[in-house]
Amino acid sequence: MSGDNPALLELARAVLSEGLICDHCLGRQFAKLSTGTTNRERGAAIRLVLAMVADMNGDELLKSEIALPKRCWVCNGIFGELDTWASRALERLGDIEYTTFLVGTRMSGLLSENEELLWETTGTDYAEPLKSETNREVGKLMASVTGKEVEFTEPDVVCLLDISHDTVLLQIRSLYIYGRYQKLVRGIPQTRWFCRECRGAGCERCGFTGKMYSESVDELISVKAIEATDAADTTFHGAGREDIDARMLGDGRPFILEVNEPKKREIDLERLETEINEYCGGKVIVTNLRSAEHRMVKELKAAAHDKVYLATIPCAGVDRDTLAWALKDITCEISQRTPVRVLHRRSDLTRMRRVHSALLESFSESDDSAVIRIECEAGLYVKELISGDGGRTVPSLAGALGVEVVVAALDVVAVKD
């Protein structure tokens, strides 16, 4: 820097002329020019070169500018407080389980303004942001104490240094658990159903519970998961959902339970599966619990799962052969407008869905009922396939029979991968 590149020498003098600056902040203005040294080391080297130039030229002004400050005007002394910030972060982490971590910094307005003013005045193109160095240096101190690894893409926890408020905030990465659930009773929704009137606040309509239903598959599964991980809450992601009055049988429906802000990450999933099933008391059963990743949530939601249903229908005045022939008429591509019962929450669209097969599972003349086995494409409304929904679903079983038909009971018996 002394004689080989006068432009860099002038840039260094320009930086120093703005005010007394620490080695970290001086070296950071040239961070992109060299590797293998820290900003502090780079700044000290620049200061040494300029001191020799000042001595050689008898430049008293330069000597005054290169003096080390008691408090740097750019960083306001933050690099003298790195140990303090690292200690605060470790104290904040407490007994939280994590393998990887990352440090982030929320700069105060003053520090951001100082840095931008320096860049604007000197016109340096080689600088590293102040927050980047702060993150790195605090992260190195924490890693040396804990033996944990810094992870930039998906750390278990992010320690956010809030300079303005002199505190450390934590962002704990969610834990994801994949499994399949069976719902063995009717009348339970898949996820929490907040009261439409009060939006969860509690009112007369919901008995001041804030919910339309006292329990859900989501809540039944979550209780033990929250206990096992000491988490704040959970978010339930299902591969579609069955109606509240339908059972989910067979091998169950795939789901991913997102555990929010878990303090414990190392859990025994076999034990958790047992505890969940015991707690659910035969209402819900979970199987095949295993660790999952965040990306799998999107994949689960995007996947189109064909399904198999058993629908029980009344069939007074319809004989077995007529019903069997009518089922052939609905084994085809079906045109469905959004059912009336869900128009309050879904757009009124017409969708084409295919029924792969519709077979008569059983027929009872004694109680005038039949069970139909329907295998169909994802997204088909089976109740409306049976009833016709006032002509919104074509063809329909009611239309094929020429009589009114409704589903008395519905079970999902397979959700295909």
Active site residue 245: no
| Cβ(232)–Cβ(271) below 8 Å | no
Burial class (CB in 10 A: 0-12, 13-18, 19+), 3: exposed
Query: Which pair of structure tokens corresponds to residue 93?
Result: 């982490």
Place of tokens 């029980």: 312
Is 176 within any annotated ligand binding site? no
Pairing of the two strands 247-260 and 409-415: parallel
Pairing verdict, β 233-238 and 247-260: antiparallel
Residue 19 CA to residue 70 CA, distance in Å, equals 12
Per DSSP, the chain holds a count of helices (H) and strands (E) of 13, 14
Pair of tokens at residue 106: 């929320």
**Token pair of 311 as six digits:** 């629908």
**Whole-number Å distance between alpha carbons of 368 and 347:** 37
Cα first-last separation, the chain: 64
The DSSP call for residue 239 is: S
Confirm whether residue 381 is marked as ligand binding. yes
Q: Helix, strand, or coil here: 160?
A: strand
Taking alpha carbons only, the member of 181, 184, 396, 414 closest to residue 309 is 414
Query: CB neighbours of 273 closer than 8 A, spacing ≥ 6?
Result: 179, 286, 287, 289
* 23, 156, 218, 243: the active-site residue: 243
Nearest C-alpha neighbor of 180 from the set 407, 416, 394: 416
Q: Among 131, 106, 7, which Cα is nearest to 15's? A: 7
Binding residues for substrate: 309, 381
The catalytic residue positions are: 243
Binding residues: 309, 381
